[in-house]
Structure 1
Amino acid sequence: MDYPKLKEEPKLIPIKLDNYKPLREVVFESLREAIINGRLSPGERLMEIQLAEEMGVSRTPVREAIRKLELEGFVVMIPRKGAYVAGISIKDIANVFEVRAALEALAAGLAAERITEEELDELERYLVEISELRESGNLDAIVEKDTMFHDVIYRASRNERLVQIVTHLQEQIHRFRTASLARPGRTRDALDEHKKLVEAISDRDVELAQKLAREHIENAENSMISAVQEAGV
């Protein structure tokens, strides 16, 4: 199968040096973010020279970043052809969402038992902010607030191991969250699901919170699968 070449228009911005991080790490994070946010699409070829020019660096940190991205599953190397952004298979989606559904249900149930009034207020504020952002159509900002909303629930579980496991999956979750929320109507539905979940947690209804959290993730999975099928990746 022939993959499309990297498009001519720049998809990356010049690197801004971070005094606390090595250049290779900054380049790696920049490329990973571009993949997660969809600026570099599944099946897209990663040309070292072009990427280096767009970011204003030499090929060496780009090459190192691509190797690290391959280890994390974001890039695939095809013999005699080069590096490509890894595609997303239905199996990949099912595996990640299966784990996430279990973790989200556990976190929501524990949060219903252990959440503080301050954390409940945080959740309510995020609902308002996400609702406002929907009007502007700023998907990146919606994804950011959606992530922060779920982070409050993880924290409210008071289970450090659970938080560690979720953190380990965070990059894949973020990549899928962006694609899922990009589907027409999904941000509206997700917001409605969030509101019901917050109500259940506020009412200290453990079983309902678990049920709603699991349904929320299942709906996100269905949205993601539809997006992948339509894109044909």
Structure 2
Amino acid sequence: MEQRLADTIAQDLEELIFDGTYSDGDRLDEVKLADQFGVSRTPLREAFQRLALSGLVDLIPRRGAFVRQPGPVELMEMFEVMAELEAVCGRLAALRISDAALKELADANTRCQMAVDAGDPDIYYLENERFHRIIYNQSGNSFLEQEASKLHRRLKPFRRQQLRFRGRMSQSMSEHEDIVQALSDSDPEKTADALRSHVAVQGEKFHNLMSSLKSHAQVVSSSR
């Protein structure tokens, strides 16, 4: 119960950071936030830990939790590495994936499509996360799986944010289908290329992401 509560608080705080309510360097006041969410400090601190894992918060001993927004260069570099890690996972998974895992991917895609139809980016992200973790696991390389999962957590808030752009969920769904087809065909290079393209945020996708973060910050700054 407390774990789900911490997850919910972390997600709500992500939104407050993205919409500019909290800016880079702002301190997250435990007392005020505990009162705002109607919770004790325990689940709030757990939520801070989750945000620290994704890099949106710095936890400084004896000082507290501070918002940290990565700059465009750092964000681009992280997505670049993520795209290559996923490509390697896909290349290995194409050679090793089980029939049972292919069925799990198909089920995750079915649920993703339901989220697209419902226009629900949050549900889509949950199933999208499941989709990618299956591929990490099916790479058959536990070290690679751990490293990919670690960076996936770090980029979670930004990957979630992308899904709010008009048409992105449908585009992502189409890319998922290409990935599953490549895996079903046991084609390592096609799978790697499909995953790399799916995750990369170069060009328009990166421009949209940075514009979204910047516009939220400007709106709140002007209202203060």
Out of 138, 142, 147, the residue aligned to residue 124 of structure 2 is: 142
Alignment of 1:70-219 (within 5 A): 73-75=55-57, 84-219=66-201
Residue type of the partner of 2:149?
T
Q: Which has the higher helix share?
A: 2
How many Å separate the matches in 2 of 1:196 and 1:95?
25
* 1:229 CA drift (Å): 1.7
1:66 CA displacement: 5.3
**8 Å contact 2:87–2:196 — kept in the other structure?**
yes
Q: Deviations over 1:66-89 (max 9, x none)?
A: 599568732359xxxx96532242
Query: 1:168, CA displacement in angstroms?
Result: 1.9
The answer for unaligned runs of 5 or more in structure 2 is: 218-224
Is the 2:97–2:139 Cα contact (8 Å) retained in structure 1?
A: yes
Residues 10-57 of structure 1, C-alpha deviations (whole Å, 9 max, x = no match): xxxxxx546xxxxxxx75x55533344x24435604333320202334
Corresponding residue number in structure 2 for 1:226:
208
Corresponding residue SS for 1:165: helix
Distance 1:220 1:56, change over 3 A: farther
Give the structure, 1 or 2, with the largest relative contact order (CA under 8 Å, sep 6 or more).
2
- CA deviations over 1:121-150 (Å, ceiling 9, x no partner): 111122121111111112111000000001
- TM-score, normalised via structure 2 length: 0.77
Asked if the contact 1:193–1:212 (Cα under 8 Å) also holds between the matched residues in 2, the reply is yes
Report SS of the residue matched to 2:200. Answer: helix
Q: Distance in 1 between matches of 2:57 and 2:204?
A: 24
TM-aligned CA distance change 1:68 to 1:190, over 3 Å: closer
